[in-house]
């Protein structure tokens, strides 16, 4: 089968290769990939700002149809439309696994970075992927594969904004950054009943991403190079500041700016990665304002179910986020579209 392999550092370290089509283990199914998204962390990988194991098929966001089942699989059959939690070889008995947080398992065979699907174990930018039954979820009938392949990012956001630090009715929420994660954060905040939702971008985002934000009806779409974000937030909150600021841009400046946008005792919710590992942070000002700063990584079984419910119940509309569909062979174009910000959600379609 064909798969997009990263075999060495650098932009020339990628290739669409013929790779072995693995047999599903007895507790696994093989999924024929119908749609597979490019995630922001894979763009970091493209720029050598993410770890991986050379020779791995990349990709951790996908949706597809079960094409083969292992002997001990009970709840799923060939033909089922599925997505899956992207964890393999987790222990099943640590506190994190038992409470549904498999992505945080600390006992993965070979260590925490050795068994991560799409970085160190073959992932979903391929014609097929094999995954264990314990992570599978059925795609609702009214949800397309192109939408469902975003279940992974939505599940990360559902964990952050619906479970861990729930957004409540009437809150003013600022989302910094209008990539896929930022826009989904704004949509989920609205679905949770937020009063005012403000999303930010820069001049580079104007042509595509901020336009999509406006089309989606996000109330306040702010180009921070044209408008004074802090003043707007203060005006909208009677001078108090936002109840919640979601940092989804990764920009070191935006990370620091969260503090000037949030109210006293407000919450800053950090989602996603920054390209730099250390960011200088105004610790004392955060302390004096008694701000909560909450970090998020990965998702949980509960948040995956929520992600699919958000789609099934039409609480969030993901279709406008999809700007490009490409065959696997045009993966470089996919990265370029994201780098230039012409693309928002770029999806690979192996059958193309
Ligand atoms: Zn992702
Ligand atoms: Zn575990």
Question: In DSSP terms, which residues pair with 244 in a beta bridge?
Answer: 173, 267
Can you tell me which residue has the tokens 């909150």?
A: 237
pLDDT in tens, 76-104: 999 999 999 988 888 889 999 999 998 88
Ligand 2 centroid to 124 CA: how many Å?
22
How many angstroms is it from 237 CA to the middle of ligand 1? 33
CA 63 / ligand 1 centre spacing (Å)? 13
Which backbone phi and psi does 64 adopt, to 5 degrees? Answer: -170, -165
Least distant ligand from the CA of 39:
1
Count Cβ neighbours within 10 Å for each residue of 226-247 and write b for 16 or more, e otherwise. eeebeebbbebbeeebbbbbbb
DSSP class of 53:
-
Cα diameter, the chain: 62
- Answer for the pair 139, 212: CB distance below 8 angstroms, yes or no: no
The sign of the torsion formed by the CA atoms of 165, 171, 176, 179 equals positive
Mean pLDDT of the chain: 95
Q: What is the pLDDT of residues 9-38, one digit of tens each?
A: 999 999 999 999 999 999 999 999 999 999
Predicted TM-score (pTM) of the model is: 0.95
Q: Is 11 left (phi over 0), alpha (psi -120 to 50) or beta?
A: alpha
Residue 191 CA to ligand 2 centre (angstroms): 32
Q: Which two tokens stand for residue 321?
A: 């986020």
CA of 162 from ligand 2 middle (Å) equals 23
Residue 6 has pLDDT above 80, yes or no: yes
CA torsion 282-284-289-291 (nearest 10°) is 60
**CB-hemisphere CA count at 13 Å for 201?**
24
Please report the pLDDT score of residue 89 as a whole number: 82
Q: Which residues surround ligand 1, an ion (CB under 5 A)?
A: 39
How many Cβ atoms are within 10 Å of 283's Cβ, its own excluded? 9
User: For residues 58 and 129, is the Cβ–Cβ distance under 8 A?
Assistant: no
Of residues 31, 41, 40, the one with CA closest to residue 84: 31
Closest CA to 31 of 76, 67, 73: 67
**Is the pLDDT reported for residue 114 higher than 80?**
no
Local confidence band at 3 (pLDDT 50, 70, 90 cut-offs): very high
Residue-wise pLDDT tens digits, 154-175: 999 999 999 999 999 999 999 9
CA dihedral 231, 344, 6, 1 (to 10 degrees): 160
For every residue of 316-327, DSSP letters joined together read S--GGGEEEEE-
pLDDT band at residue 108 under the 50/70/90 scheme:
confident
pLDDT of residue 112: 65
**Range 115-121 average pLDDT:** 90
CA distance 175 to 246: 5
Confidence (pLDDT) at 8? 97
Counted residue by residue, the chain has a size of 352
All residues at 6 or more sequence positions from 340 whose CB lies less than 8 Å from its CB, including other chains: none
- Alpha helix (H) residue ranges in the chain: 40-46, 95-98, 145-148, 151-158, 180-191, 211-215, 229-236, 252-261, 283-288, 301-312, 331-339
Per mean pLDDT, which range of 223-232, 244-253, 272-281 is the poorest?
272-281
pLDDT > 90 in the chain, percent? 90
Mapped onto helix, strand or coil, the DSSP state of residue 115 is coil
Tell me, in angstroms, the distance from the centre of ligand 2 to residue 117's CA: 15
pLDDT band at 275 (very low <50, low <70, confident <90, very high): confident
Q: What's the number of CA atoms in the CB half-sphere (13 Å) around residue 90? A: 26
What six digits make up the tokens of 34? 């119908």
How large a percentage of the chain has pLDDT more than 70? 99
């Amino acid at each position: 089968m064909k798969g997009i392999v990263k075999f060495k550092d650098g932009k020339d370290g990628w290739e669409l290769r013929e790779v072995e089509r693995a047999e599903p283990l007895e507790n696994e199914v093989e999924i024929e990939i119908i749609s597979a998204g490019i995630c922001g962390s894979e763009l970091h990988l493209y720029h050598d700002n993410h770890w991986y194991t050379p020779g791995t098929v990349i990709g951790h966001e996908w949706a597809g149809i079960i094409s083969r089942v292992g002997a001990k699989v009970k709840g799923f059959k060939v033909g089922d439309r599925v997505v899956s939690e992207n964890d393999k070889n987790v222990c099943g008995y640590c506190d994190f696994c038992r409470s549904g947080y498999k992505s945080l398992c600390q006992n993965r065979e070979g260590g925490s970075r050795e068994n991560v699907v799409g970085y160190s174990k073959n992932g979903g930018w391929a014609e097929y992927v094999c995954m264990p039954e314990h992570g599978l979820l059925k795609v609702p009938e009214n949800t397309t594969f192109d939408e469902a392949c975003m279940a992974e990012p939505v599940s990360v956001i559902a964990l952050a904004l619906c479970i861990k630090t729930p957004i409540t009715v009437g809150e003013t929420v600022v989302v910094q950054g209008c990539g896929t994660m930022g826009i989904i954060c704004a949509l989920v905040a609205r679905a949770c009943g937020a009063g005012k939702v403000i999303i930010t971008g820069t001049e580079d985002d104007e042509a595509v991403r901020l336009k999509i934000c406006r089309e989606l009806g996000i109330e306040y779409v702010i180009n921070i190079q044209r408008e004074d974000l802090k003043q707007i937030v203060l005006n909208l909150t009677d001078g108090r500041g936002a109840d919640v600021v979601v940092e989804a841009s990764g920009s070191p400046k935006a990370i620091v700016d969260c503090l000037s946008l949030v109210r006293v005792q407000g919450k800053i919710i950090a989602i996603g990665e920054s390209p730099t590992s250390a960011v200088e942070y105004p610790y004392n000002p955060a302390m004096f304002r008694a701000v909560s700063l909450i970090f998020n990584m990965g998702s949980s079984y509960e948040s995956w179910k929520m992600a699919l419910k958000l789609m099934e119940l039409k609480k969030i509309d993901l279709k406008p986020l999809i700007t490009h569909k490409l065959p696997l062979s045009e993966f470089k174009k996919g990265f370029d579209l994201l780098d230039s910000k012409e693309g928002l959600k770029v999806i690979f379609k192996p059958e193309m």
